[in-house]
A and B are shown apart, each in its own frame.
Chain A
Amino acid sequence: MSIAVTSAGVSATRAPVRVGELALGLSIAAFLLVFVAWPAVAVTYVAFTEKGTGAFTLINFQDFARTDLFVRSLWNSIYVGAATVAWASVIALPLAVLTTRFSFRGAIVIQTLGFVPLIMPPFVGAVAMQMLFGRNGTINLLLSDWFDVRIPFMEGLNGVIFVEALHYFPFILINVSASLRNIDRAMEEAAQNLGCSGFRLLRRIVLPLAAPGYMAGASLVFVKVFDDLATPLLLNVKDMLAPQAYLRITSIGIADPMGYVIAVVLVVMSVASMGLAALATRGVDYATVQRGGGGIARRSLRPAESFAAYLVVGFILLLVLAPHIGLLLLSFATVWSFSPLPDALTTAHYVRVFSESGVYIKNTILYASLAGLIDVVVGTAIAWLVLRTKLSFRHWLDWGATAALAFPGVVIGIGYLRAFYDVRLFGGAPLATLWIMIVLAVAVRRLPYALRASHAALLQISRSLEEAAENLGATRQRAVRRIVLPLMTGGILAGFVTSFATAAVELSATLLLVQSNSDAPLAYGVYVFMQSPAGRGAGAALGVVTVIIVCACALLAQFGIERSQNAKGALQ
């Protein structure tokens, strides 16, 4: 989709609404309606119908409120979401501050590896976590051997919080780091000049200035945790909303609307929390309006401080990369059972997956790239409409795209089948069976990542750069293409990487839409191999392959970002 702004003379002034903007806005609205709203409504309308008669009713929501289990699940989900945000902050904030405030060689390691926790294929990551932190995982076996104690890392709600915090903290890290880099140095210097320093400076000036980035990241974490079902299910926690919805929707023969009622509640809660975050940061988006920012001053560390910093970073990295370390061990393990480490190592699992992984890898890269592409195109267009036009429904586009994040993958999966299976192509093949539908299903759920990234990037581009181009004879369309898009490259790429990486490990929607092995992505392959009762080795091996490939692509993109940042220079 191109940024289709016409240069028709009639509406060519900066009047409230112009034909091109309207066309772009409407086509995005149509995209969201067809690929998000329709499938979602096709599934969830049941939540509003009366049993037997099919008439509209809210009785199901009353049932929700009257059922202890659901109410308990709701509160548990809120608690876990909030506590995860808190713990993820504990991990992410020191890393963000360390990497942006100090000239510290570990910074590049954190910026590179800090992203990796987001890339974890389904099932295997959680299994690997159990091998390390479970009741009889490495740590607890050692602890009980040495001290006869066990730490319940992975028990109950707190276990969910522990795993989720390790998994999702990068959302906060990425956003806060970006905010910190954009703070005008003079802000900090002014405070120092007035006698404020050290932690007080951090607390009173630096962190408040980074608040918008923090809120953006924190709300993403909250929503993702709220929506995540794999982790609670693995930890055997069922009284949370997302697992309840999933268990009900996917149980055979259950024709109960409650699963969809919960899905609706999930969506409402997610949109509300995103909205709250936006409300909380309204008018306090200081970091981005400063000119000549250049980021806060970097200090070099004294040897002792440096040592402490490396210690903190090393510990945190070890913790957050534990699932990957576990996965790696699992993929090379012959047998790993009730022992701190595998009995022996082997490459047999890699040999086994090698011959079949080619088609999965190809499909994954194709699907995830396309999904990322769709996300950045739509996300950038929405960001542009929101920030640069006065289109009356532009905020609805923003909210609509954000709501997609909250739909459980399985709802989208069933919704796509229901909505598109009866749409026939030439020759009678249903639309839903095209592999592009997998791409779309995966893409819409990641749209908010790209949208947020593009939004942030566009906020930082002075309007006058666009006007200068128009003044020199470039139409709006050309000004966007030649000036705005190149300058947004960094943000767009960041959005692409996030969408790409998370799309590459998506399973829940994929599982329903994959039509044949030749169309299947890696996540599906991992699932197939993981089902083997003969151990998790093959699935883990394919998981490692997935992580490596996704990381390689992400690093490539990161490299691209840095080059574009360098090209941009310090004028911004």
Chain B
Amino acid sequence: MRPGPQSDGRHQAAGVEISGVNLSYGANHVLKDVELNIEPGEFFAFLGPSGCGKTTLLRLIAGFNVADSGEVRIAGRDIGKLPPWKRDVGMVFQSYALWPHMSVRRNVAFGLEERRLPRAEIAARVAAVLDLVGLAAFAERKPSQLSGGQQQRVALARTIVTEPKVLLLDEPLSNLDAKMRVQVRGELHDLQRRLGITTIFVTHDQEEANAICDRIAVMSDGVIQQVGAPRDLYARPANLFVANFLGAANILPGIVTTRDGVSVFDIGGGAFLPIPEDAAIPQGASLVFRPQDACMAPAHQGEPGLDARILSHEFLGSIVRYRLRLGGADVLVDTPFHAGSEILSNGSTVAFSLMAKAGVWLEK
């Protein structure tokens, strides 16, 4: 018998440790020296563009891929050699993979049946989980008779009913429409908090990851670029890829020079940006900052700043995003929009300034 899941309602949260994992498909090196430590009970995300290896890593944890080297440990136990069905790792598939020939109830009961639980307990737990996801009324339906959101919830219910040590979600929101996505991700977050289950979430949508995850591993090209809380990643990206992938960023190449005895960052075209005193700027680095971390004011108001000219603007509802010509570079600047705010016209000149500690310098 496989180790049965605890049925006391609360999970014994398990951590996931991945060390030195490499995986190649022929000449294609898909995962490169992956090291990760996911805390028990954490809501963790693998974030990256398609083809970055995030789903491969997830399937590796589930047992559908086998690493060429390295270890995967759950709650301290190496599971690398276990078959998928002995890992006690729940996975929600991108396509949901609901079995079309079974009713919702049979789908959800499947994992419990495989664990040879008593029939009464299966019925009770299935009913409970269907209640939890709000699908009690749909138990006898076939998956084809449900909407996308409902199917997604069945897939989730089917997985969590077995109370796995770790929950894996493979782009679970990608098949939903925009509004549904926001709603369901909220529900996911609440559910995860309630169950306290260690959850790994694969997505290519940084907003999704930011919204619900405790920590994120940003991946690119089979390499984990940075791991951290969403705000840290956003504010302090470790490299240009991370900076760029997590929302709009201004990336200004330049050189450090001294002007009037003060170190400044020369971005060309006669534009010099101040450098914080404690900053150690590597040679050949670029200045990176978010559009909302810069300020601009009409030139005639006499605010201090660098001269810049508005090239174009986009109205995005709560903000207006301007594209400015600043020296030799183009820069995005967001300004909040309130009822009654004015939008500056293209071609007008503004004073540009960067908030203190807003920028980071990153090597290419």
Query: Interface on A for B, CB 8 Å cutoff?
Result: 7, 9, 12-15, 291, 462, 464-465, 467-476, 478-479, 482-483, 486-487, 564, 567-572
CB < 8 Å: which of B63, B86, B98, B111 contacts A14?
A: B63
Given A462-B97, A487-B99, A472 and B81 touching (CB < 8 A)? no
Say whether B81 contacts A13, CB under 8 Å.
yes
Question: How far does the Cβ of A48 sit from chain B's closest Cβ, in whole Å?
Answer: 41
Complex CA gap A431/B235 in Å reads: 80
Say whether A568 contacts B84, CB under 8 Å.
no
Question: How far does the Cβ of A70 sit from chain B's closest Cβ, in whole Å?
Answer: 47
Is B91 an interface residue, CB under 8 A from the partner?
A: yes
Question: How far does the Cβ of A79 sit from chain B's closest Cβ, in whole Å?
Answer: 45
Q: Which of A14, A478, A487 has the most CB of B within 10 A?
A: A14
Say whether A571 contacts B144, CB under 8 Å.
yes
Say whether B86 contacts A472, CB under 8 Å.
no
Complex CA gap A469/B84 in Å reads: 9
Query: Interface on B for A, CB 8 Å cutoff?
Result: 2, 62-66, 80-86, 88-91, 93-95, 97-101, 110-111, 114-115, 142-145, 158-159, 162
Question: How far does the Cβ of A270 sit from chain B's closest Cβ, in whole Å?
Answer: 35
Other contacts beyond A473-B86, A486-B101, A487-B99: 6, CB < 8 A: A465-B97, A465-B99, A467-B93, A469-B114, A472-B85, A476-B83
Question: How far does the Cβ of A404 sit from chain B's closest Cβ, in whole Å?
Answer: 31
Say whether A570 contacts B114, CB under 8 Å.
no
Residues of A within 8 A of B114 (CB): 469, 472-474, 478
Complex CA gap A554/B113 in Å reads: 35
Say whether A12 contacts B86, CB under 8 Å.
yes
Complex CA gap A487/B66 in Å reads: 27
Residues of A within 8 A of B84 (CB): 14, 467, 470-471
Say whether B82 contacts A12, CB under 8 Å.
yes
Quick one: closest B residue to A464, CB to CB? Answer: B97
Quick one: closest B residue to A572, CB to CB? Answer: B100
Complex CA gap A568/B143 in Å reads: 9
CB < 8 Å: which of B82, B85, B101, B115 contacts A567?
A: B101
Q: What would 19 A/B residue contacts be, using CB atoms closer than 8 Å?
A: A13-B80, A14-B66, A467-B64, A468-B91, A468-B97, A468-B99, A469-B110, A470-B85, A471-B85, A472-B90, A472-B110, A472-B114, A473-B114, A476-B85, A479-B85, A567-B101, A571-B98, A571-B100, A571-B142
Complex CA gap A569/B145 in Å reads: 8
Quick one: closest A residue to B63, CB to CB? Answer: A13
Quick one: closest A residue to B65, CB to CB? Answer: A14
Question: How far does the Cβ of A103 sit from chain B's closest Cβ, in whole Å?
Answer: 20
Residues of B within 8 A of A569 (CB): 100-101, 142-145
Residues of B within 8 A of A471 (CB): 62-63, 84-85, 89-91, 159
Say whether B83 contacts A9, CB under 8 Å.
yes
CB < 8 Å: which of A462, A473, A479 contacts B115?
A: A473
Say whether A468 contacts B85, CB under 8 Å.
no
Quick one: closest A residue to B170, CB to CB? Answer: A464
Residues of B within 8 A of A567 (CB): 101, 142
Question: How far does the Cβ of A25 sit from chain B's closest Cβ, in whole Å?
Answer: 19
Residues of B within 8 A of A572 (CB): 100
Residues of A within 8 A of B63 (CB): 13-14, 470-471
Residues of B within 8 A of A470 (CB): 63-64, 83-85
Complex CA gap A568/B86 in Å reads: 28
Residues of B within 8 A of A568 (CB): 100-101
Quick one: closest B residue to A18, CB to CB? Answer: B83
Complex CA gap A291/B97 in Å reads: 12
A-B residue pairs, 4 tightest by C-beta: A569-B144, A472-B111, A12-B83, A468-B97
Residues of A within 8 A of B66 (CB): 13-15
Question: How far does the Cβ of A465 sit from chain B's closest Cβ, in whole Å?
Answer: 5
Complex CA gap A159/B214 in Å reads: 77
Quick one: closest A residue to B108, CB to CB? Answer: A472
Residues of B within 8 A of A469 (CB): 99, 110, 114
Residues of A within 8 A of B159 (CB): 471-472
Q: Which of B97, B98, B145, B162 has the most CB of A within 10 A?
A: B97
Say whether B85 contacts A473, CB under 8 Å.
yes
Question: How far does the Cβ of A290 sit from chain B's closest Cβ, in whole Å?
Answer: 13
Complex CA gap A568/B98 in Å reads: 11
Complex CA gap A471/B97 in Å reads: 11
Residues of A within 8 A of B2 (CB): 473
Question: How far does the Cβ of B153 sit from chain A's closest Cβ, in whole Å?
Answer: 15
Say whether A14 contacts B64, CB under 8 Å.
yes
Complex CA gap A470/B63 in Å reads: 9
Residues of B within 8 A of A476 (CB): 83, 85
Question: How far does the Cβ of A201 sit from chain B's closest Cβ, in whole Å?
Answer: 28
CB < 8 Å: which of B81, B82, B88, B97 contacts A467?
A: B97
Residues of A within 8 A of B144 (CB): 569-571
Say whether B101 contacts A464, CB under 8 Å.
no
CB < 8 Å: which of A14, A474, A487 contacts B110?
A: A474
Q: Which of A7, A468, A474 has the most CB of B within 10 A?
A: A468
Complex CA gap A468/B111 in Å reads: 10
Say whether B95 contacts A291, CB under 8 Å.
yes
Given A471-B89, A472-B159, A571 and B143 touching (CB < 8 A)? yes
Question: How far does the Cβ of B222 sit from chain A's closest Cβ, in whole Å?
Answer: 19
Say whether B82 contacts A9, CB under 8 Å.
yes
Complex CA gap A325/B311 in Å reads: 83
Residues of B within 8 A of A291 (CB): 95
Say whether B81 contacts A12, CB under 8 Å.
yes
Quick one: closest A residue to B83, CB to CB? Answer: A12
Residues of A within 8 A of B99 (CB): 465, 468-469, 483, 486-487
Question: How far does the Cβ of B96 sit from chain A's closest Cβ, in whole Å?
Answer: 8
Say whether A475 contacts B83, CB under 8 Å.
yes
Question: How far does the Cβ of A172 sit from chain B's closest Cβ, in whole Å?
Answer: 28
Question: How far does the Cβ of A176 sit from chain B's closest Cβ, in whole Å?
Answer: 24
Residues of A within 8 A of B142 (CB): 567, 569, 571
Say whether B111 contacts A487, CB under 8 Å.
no
Complex CA gap A457/B262 in Å reads: 74
Residues of A within 8 A of B97 (CB): 462, 464-465, 467-468
Complex CA gap A472/B82 in Å reads: 14
Residues of B within 8 A of A482 (CB): 110
Complex CA gap A472/B114 in Å reads: 8
CB < 8 Å: which of B85, B88, B101, B162 contacts A475?
A: B85
Say whether B82 contacts A473, CB under 8 Å.
no
Complex CA gap A467/B159 in Å reads: 12
Complex CA gap A564/B142 in Å reads: 13
Residues of A within 8 A of B115 (CB): 473
Complex CA gap A479/B110 in Å reads: 10
Complex CA gap A41/B110 in Å reads: 48
Say whether B111 contacts A7, CB under 8 Å.
no
Say whether A13 contacts B93, CB under 8 Å.
no
Q: Which of A15, A472, A476 has the most CB of B within 10 A?
A: A472
CB < 8 Å: which of A7, A15, A487 contacts B85?
A: A7
Given A13-B66, A472-B162, A569-B143, A464 and B83 touching (CB < 8 A)? no
